[in-house]
Structures are given as structure tokens and as C-alpha cells.
Amino acid sequence: MSQFKYQMLIQWSEEDNCFLVGFPDFPRQSWRTHGDTYKEAVTNGIEALESLI
């Protein structure tokens, strides 16, 4: 579990057929990573957030 306190937005994309992950606190890019499953999107989102900080 990440110790950071930022919002992670996870949204299903029919167009991309995957879950897209974004961080509203970092608005320069709307979507940062993705995952084929919700769990994978969370894992990839945590990794992306750690690289942003």
C-alpha cells in the first residue's frame, strides 16, 4: 500500500478496452497509465504515482 495521499482516478475505457488511471493532482496529462484489470490498474497507478513524486 502506498503511503502517498493523492487521488487516483480509475475509469473503464470502451475505446481502449482497459482501465485508464489518472491523477487529478497532476493535471498536465489526463491519463498516466492503464491496466487490463482493475487490480492491475491500481498496481500500475501506484508505480506511476511513485515515479511522479
Query: Can you give the pLDDT of all 53 residues of the chain as single tens digits?
Result: 556 688 999 999 999 999 999 999 887 877 889 999 999 999 999 999 888 88
Give this prediction's pTM: 0.83
Q: How far is CA 50 from CA 3, 12, 13, 17, 47, in A?
A: 10, 22, 24, 25, 5
Q: How far is CA 26 from CA 2, 32, 38, 43, 53, in A?
A: 17, 9, 21, 18, 10
> How many other C-beta atoms lie within 10 A of the C-beta of residue 51?
9
Domain range summary for the chain, segments of one domain joined by +: 9-52
The pLDDT assigned to 2 comes to 53
Instruction: Please give the Cα distance from 51 to 47 (Å, whole number).
Output: 6
